[in-house]
Amino acid sequence: VKRRPKSKSSAQWLERQDNDFFVSQAQLQGYRSRAAFKLLQINDKYSIFKPGQIVVDLGYSPGAWSQVALEKTNPGGHIVGVDLIAADPPPGVSAIQGDMLSSETHRRLKSHLAKFIESRQGEPTEEASEEPVVTEEIVPKRRRVPKGKTLEEVLAEEKRLEELAKNQVVDIVLSDMCEPIVSSMDSSDFYTRTYIDSVKRLQSTSGIRFQDHAYSVELCYAALLFVIDTLKVGGHFVCKYYAGEEDKEMKKVFSRAFKKVHRVKPESSRSKSREIYLVCLHRKPAATRQTVF
C-alpha cells in the first residue's frame, strides 16, 4: 500500500526514511527505530553498558534505546522507560507514563526503583512484580488509597520507598526526550489525550531553532535533577538536546556533576540535524542539587 503524505514536509520525511541506511538496518535487526544505532555507536566509543545494570530511559517511545539497553545489560539488567505518551514498551522493559517536568512523575519513578531493589534483595513488597509495569496515568489528581489501608499507611509507605530510593541505585540514565506535539490541545485536553501520531513523534521539532533548543535544554535539566537524586557514584548519563546558544553553559553545569562530559554527534545522526548528545561519564561523589545548580 502506497503511503500518501498529507504535507510536503511529511513527504520529504517519508522519502528520507525510504532511502535511509539506518532505517533499513533497524528493520532488519528488529529495532523499533534508527535511533538504536546512535546509542550503539555511543556505547562502542565509551563502553557505558555492563551486564546486570539498572537503566532508566527517559522519553523511551518507540523503544529502540530500551531495546539496546536491555541487550547490553543482560543477563540481570533492569530497564524502566518513562514517556509522556502511551506506548507499549519492548518485551522485558518496564514503563511508566508521565511528564518528567512533574515532580509527581519523579516520585512514581523512584517508588518503582525502590520496589525493584527490594525484590532484587529478596524482600519483595506486595506490589513488586517481575513483569513489566505500564502505568496508564500521567499525573494522578489524588492519592489512591487501596482497600483495607488508611491514607496514613499509604503516605508512610511512600516515605519509606523514597528513603530507599535515596541510596542512588541507578547505573545509567538515558534521555532522548523531545517536545511533544500538543499545540492543538488546550490545557484541559493535555492530561486526557495521550495519542500522538507516531510519524509526528519522530519529527517532533518545531522548526524554530530557538524554541527547539530552549525546550530541549529544559528537558535536559529536568533529567539532570532526577540523575542527581538516583544515579550511583560513577554512573553515566546520556542526554539529547538541540544545539544553540546555551551549549557552553550546559556543559559547564553538567561538568559539576560528572568527571567527564563529551559533546557527541553519532555517525547515524542525520547531517542536517542539530541534535547533540551529552555523554556524561562517572558521576562525582559530591554532586548535589545545590552544588550543580
Q: Answer whether 269's CB lies under 8 Å from 15's CB.
A: no
pLDDT for 68:
98
pLDDT score recorded for residue 207: 46
Convert the pLDDT of each residue in 65-112 to its tens digit: 999 999 999 999 999 999 998 889 999 999 999 998 888 999 899 999
In a domain, residue 104? The reply is yes
Q: In sequence order, what are the residues at sequence separation of 6 or more whose Cβ sits closer than 8 angstroms to the Cβ of residue 291?
A: 256
Q: What separation, in Å, do the N-terminal and C-terminal C-alpha atoms of the chain show? A: 52
Is residue 240 part of the annotated active site? The answer reads yes
Q: Would residue 6 count as lying in a domain? A: no
Query: Does 37 reside within a domain?
Result: yes
Q: Is 152 exposed, middle or buried (0-12, 13-18, 19+ CB in 10 A)?
A: exposed
| Residue 40: its H or E element | helix 35-46
Evaluate whether residue 12 is within a structural domain: no
Residue 159 CA to its chain's centroid (Å): 24
Q: For residue 155, is pLDDT > 50? A: yes
Q: Is the pLDDT of residue 34 over 50?
A: yes
The CA distances from residue 164 to 69, 109, 117, 142, 262, in Å, are 24, 12, 9, 23, 31
- Please name the helix (run of DSSP H) or strand (run of DSSP E) that holds residue 237, with its range, or none: strand 231-242
97, containing H or E segment: strand 94-97
pLDDT over 90 at 204, yes or no: no
pLDDT for the residue 127: 44
Residue 286 burial (C-beta neighbours within 10 Å; 0-12, 13-18, 19+): exposed
Mean pLDDT score of the chain = 79
The C-alpha cell 526503583 sits at 113
The answer to the question of residue 7 being in a domain is: no
**4 lies in a domain?**
no
Residue 223, domain member (yes or no):
yes
CATH (domain of 252): 3.40.50.150
Range of the domain at 87: 31-292
pLDDT of 273: 81
Count of domains forming the chain: 1
Average pLDDT of the segment spanning 40-65: 96
Q: Which of 240, 251, 260, 272 is catalytic?
A: 240
8 domain-assigned: no
**pLDDT the model gives residue 201:** 35
Residues 6+ apart with CB under 8 A from 74: 51
Which has more confidence, 190 or 286? Answer: 286
What the block records as the C-alpha cell of 65 is 534505546
